[in-house]
Amino acid sequence: MPFTTREIESPDAVTQVSAADAAVREPDDDIGEKMVLNMGPSHPATHGVLRLVLELDGEIITKATPDIGFLHRGDEKIAENMQYNQFVPYTDRLDYLAPLSNNVAYALAVEKLMGWDIPPRGQAIRTICCETSRISSHLLGLGAMALDLGAMTVFLYTFTEREKLYDLFELLTGARFTTSYTRVGGQIRDLPENFIPQLKKFLDDFWPSLDECDKLLTRNRIFVDRTKDVGVISKERAIAYALSGPNLRGSGIEHDLRRKHPYLDYENYDFDVVIGSAGDCYDRYLVRIEEMRQSVRILRQGIDKLPSGPINVADWKNMAPPKSRVMTKMEELIHHFIVVTEGLDAPPGEIYFAAENPKGELGFYINSRGGGVPYRLKIRAPSFVNLSILPELLPGCMVSDVPAVLGSLDFVMGECDR
Amino acid sequence: MDPFFIITSLLKIVGILFVVILPMVSYAVYAERKVSAAIQDRLGPNRVGPAGLFQPIADMFKLLLKEDFTPRNVNTFYYWLAPCLAVMPAIITIAVVPFGSTLFGVPMVIADVNVGILFVFAIASLGVYGIVIGGWASNSKYPFLGGIRSSSQMLSYELSLGLAVIPVFLLVGNLRLTSVVRYQIEHGWFIAPFVGDWMNPWKWVLAVPMIISFLVFMIAIFAETNRLPFDLPEAEQELAGGYNTEYSSMKFALFFLGEYAAMITGSAVIVTLFFGGWHFPGIPDGSRGWIFGVINIAVFFAKVAIMIFIFMWVRWTLPRFRYDQLMRLGWLFFFEIALVNIFVAAWILAYFPSS
């Protein structure tokens, strides 16, 4: 058809000129005073591969267009082609700064579909996983924000602490970064023997170190000047844009899924939901600092009340039985074979489960038609939603504010682009 | 002209430039990395040679061997000129700074001109052209923003820089930097006048505007040398390197060396103006034997090294200012302080019982 060929033909010189003439000009920019600055996808302040197209008037941003998708891997489509447990490693790569809590959130979502409640010890272990990864993620958020504002030393201090956390993760899961720790119905292994003493030692060392970063930044005049009244998100806008996590609480809204819709065992832990007041970068920074302290509180309680007992559900038809039984009992051997080859037998139906992850509300919507493979799996990525406010937040800021705003929104592109 | 004068001058130029300043620049980079490592609880360079001491040489070879890439659409002449302009003023400035007393009767200053400090300001201000021209010639948006920031930053801080030193020259009555040092030998360092009739309370009253002068001057030098918290023109995290984004190989290295050379020169000027130059209480000058002449030079560079350490300490502790905050600070705070400070110093001086 001639019509179609014309569509895909590259425009000739005459068409290009007429297109340029017909292009809409900004009414208030007749003499072309504005400059379009392309920030990213490879730029030190954009934490990965976010691309911002900024329209500048001098150093002041008049228009900001975020361009995402450089890290798109099609995780949701991938999930439709594999068994539930096989998708666990993919959750590591969502918010890769807190892989453990992604594992937990995903496992909890599928368990909700299965109608399972894992034993108390398993829940306590998952709580410990979630909170350690929250500390790890917030430490990076804090360090990267400081780094973007020029305080490189804080970044290295936080990385020293994260290094210790990675050692803990390695002890727990065998991997430092891509943990893949949970399975639907439990964990791959119990806590190693010396995990709890090492975690205690970490918590003791961590508190003074956090205070040190706090002292370097919180009262630092330059840091306060750079972050206060910058990137202000009002309560209404925060709700309108469906922000979640520290970005929402920084605007003064007391919303924490651990409190509002308790999962795991969070209703039995004593912790404060930290909220800010002004909703600027400084408040979001303060919320993160204080949330780390609350995480330490939760971890200490978790260590104290860690119950003994099984860590996984004992539904051998859907959860691979332990090796000792597989090797000795006929029936368990058959179960193992079925579970490994066909996956668990999920009931048909749809569920949505959201967990309070370090970056915000990480939700999994699962549409199941029965069997071991989801029909559709949708990931509600907090970073994606949090970034949607950028076109409204950035205009009026200066170029120097972009790192502060981006740092305080604390996003991860692995999760945003999925 | 006196051939002896020409030969000694040449010896001084070659000596100070190739034996002291250039190695000092490359080892300032090494020191920066070691100091930052110490501050950040790391080890720093420790692979090349003992304690990583050959690291600067390895860095230099690496930079020399890299591809010297000239992007398309740059203004080639200015693109090549900018790195030279960045490094030269810092080195020229050192000519008027007295780095020692006398050695075998030869005064240890390359050019003892009677416009001393004016020469310093005139030449040091040229350093900004390297950055501005580099930013313009690169024909790229990030360097362009860096160049613009740099020029406005210089304008704001050059003023307080000039005003801050006026109290010093009110006291000395002479722009020659050697006379500043002579005055401080007789009356004590401006910051801490412990020499001579140090019991005289007026001298301590006079030290107050001097300390203010020193602080303003030092902060202005921070801004002048583009170091954190004033490194807006390069602002790694905002402008991805700023004015030097499009530069590679030795041209980039020249910008880098220019920054460190400016830091050394700035430290040398601060030491001369406020810390008594090469003078240290109790150590006689070079007229009492060549060994003292050498010691005086060593004292001067030790003081410079301490100043450089302070530069680095500040850099690795503080975050960076924002463009408008920097301007506000420069125009609404330091400018006023420096101006009022002149009047305070003049008023004290008017009632200073001259002995």
pLDDT given for residue B353 in this prediction: 63
Task: Determine whether the interchain pair A44/B316 forms a contact, defined as Cβ–Cβ distance below 8 Å.
Answer: no
Summarised one tens digit per residue, pLDDT across range B63-85 is 888 887 777 777 888 888 888 88
ipTM: 0.79
Q: In chain B, which residues touch A (CB < 8 A)?
A: 36, 39-42, 141-142, 145, 149, 228-229, 231-232, 235-240, 316-325
Q: Please check the confidence at residue A6 and state whether its pLDDT lies above 60.
A: no
* Bond preceding residue A41 cis, omega within 30 of 0: yes
Does A399 contact B238 at a Cβ distance shorter than 8 Å? yes
* CB within 8 Å: A225 and B317: no
**Which residues of chain B does A223 touch, with a Cβ-Cβ cutoff of 8 Å?**
319
Dihedral-angle region of residue A48 (phi above 0 means left; psi in -120 to 50 means alpha; beta otherwise): left
- Write b or e for each residue in B153-185: b if 16 or more Cβ atoms lie within 10 A of its Cβ, otherwise e: bbebbbbbbbbbbbbbbebbeebbbbbbbbbbb
Give the number of residues written for chain A. Answer: 418
Cβ–Cβ below 8 Å for A149 and B237: yes
User: How much of chain B, in percent, has pLDDT values that exceed 90?
Assistant: 1
Whether A183 is in a domain gets the answer yes
- pLDDT for A3: 40
**Which of A37, A147, A150 faces B228 most closely, judged by CB atoms?**
A150
Band of residue A7 on the pLDDT scale cut at 50, 70, 90: very low
Q: Which residue of A has its CA nearest to B142?
A: A37
CA B105 to chain centre: 27
Strand (E) or helix (H) holding A357: strand A346-357
Predicted TM-score (pTM) of the model is: 0.83
* CA pair distance B292, B119, nearest whole angstrom: 29
If you count DSSP H runs as helices and E runs as strands, how many of each does chain A have, helices first?
19, 8
Closest by CA to A346, choosing from A119, A34, A116, is: A116
Examine the pLDDT at A17 and tell me if it is beyond 70: no
C-alpha span between B269 and B92 (Å, rounded): 13
**Does residue A10 belong to any structural domain of this protein?**
no
Identify all chain A residues contacting B39, using CB atoms and an 8 Å cutoff. Answer: 153
Looking at residue A21, what is its pLDDT?
64
Contact A407, A281 (CB under 8 A): yes
Q: Does some domain include residue A5?
A: no
Average pLDDT over residues B48-70: 85
CA–CA distances in Å: residue A267 to residues A132, A256, A262, B160, B292 = 18, 12, 6, 60, 77
Tell which wins on pLDDT, B194 or B306: B306
Please tell me the least confidently modeled range out of A154-158, B234-238, B258-262: B234-238
The pLDDT, as a whole number, for residue A28 is 61
Give the C-alpha separation, A205 to A219, whole Å.
Answer: 22
Residue A1 has pLDDT above 60, yes or no: no
Residue B76's contacts (CB-CB under 8 Å, 6 or more residues apart) are B70, B137
Count of A–B CB contacts within 8 Å? Answer: 83
Is residue A154 a part of any domain in this protein?
yes
3-state secondary structure of A298: helix
Are B319 and A43 an interchain contact pair (Cβ–Cβ within 8 Å)? no
Nearest-Cα distance to chain A for B78, in Å, is 23
- Mean of the per-residue pLDDT values of chain A: 85
Mark yes or no for CB contact A44/B240 under 8 Å.
yes
Measured CA distances, A127 to A142, A176, A268, A356, B131 (Å): 22, 18, 11, 11, 53
Q: What are the tens digits of pLDDT across the range A114-168?
A: 888 888 888 899 999 899 999 999 999 888 888 888 888 888 888 888 999 999 9
Residue A220 has its nearest CB partner, among B36, B141, B319, at: B319
Q: Measure in Å the smallest separation between the Cα of B343 and chain A Cα atoms.
A: 29
Q: Is residue A45 part of a domain?
A: no
CB within 8 A of A176, min separation 6: which ones? A166, A167, A169, A170
Chain A residues within 8 A of B229 when measuring between CB atoms? 150, 222
Q: How far is B241 from chain A (nearest CA, A)?
A: 10
Which is it for strands A51-57 and A35-39: parallel, antiparallel or unpaired?
antiparallel
In a domain, A9, yes or no: no
pLDDT in tens, B303-346: 889 999 998 888 888 888 888 888 888 888 888 888 898 888 88
The chain-wide mean pLDDT, for chain B, equals: 82
Quote the tokens at residue A117.
Answer: 């409640």
Count of structural domains, chain A: 1
Q: Is residue A33 part of a domain?
A: no
Contact B40 A225 (CB under 8 A): no
Residue-wise pLDDT for A366-394, tens only, equals: 998 888 888 989 999 899 998 888 888 88
Mutate to test the interface with A, among B139, B237, B314, B317 (most CBs of A within 10 A): B237
Do residue B237 and residue A403 have CB atoms under 8 angstroms apart?
A: yes
Is the pLDDT at A348 greater than 70, yes or no?
yes
Model confidence at B253, pLDDT cuts 50, 70, 90, reads confident
Question: A101: domain CATH number?
Answer: 1.10.645.10
Residue B47, both tokens: 């692979």
DSSP string, B26-82: HHHHHHHHHHHHHHTT---S-SSSGGGTTHHHHHHHHHHHS-----TT--HHHHHHH
Tens digit of pLDDT for each residue in A249-298?
988 888 888 888 888 888 888 888 888 888 888 999 999 999 999 999 89
The boundaries of the domain holding residue A400 are 75-417
Give the rounded distance of the alpha carbon of B16 from its chain centre.
15
Tell me the DSSP string of B87-103. HHHHHHHGGGS--SSEE
Q: How confident is the model at residue B197 (pLDDT cuts 50, 70, 90)?
A: low
Burial class of residue B104 in the structure, from the number of CB atoms within 10 Å of its CB (0-12 exposed, 13-18 middle, 19+ buried): exposed
Percent of chain A predicted with pLDDT > 70: 92
| Closest Cβ–Cβ partner in B141, B318, B325 for A151 | B318
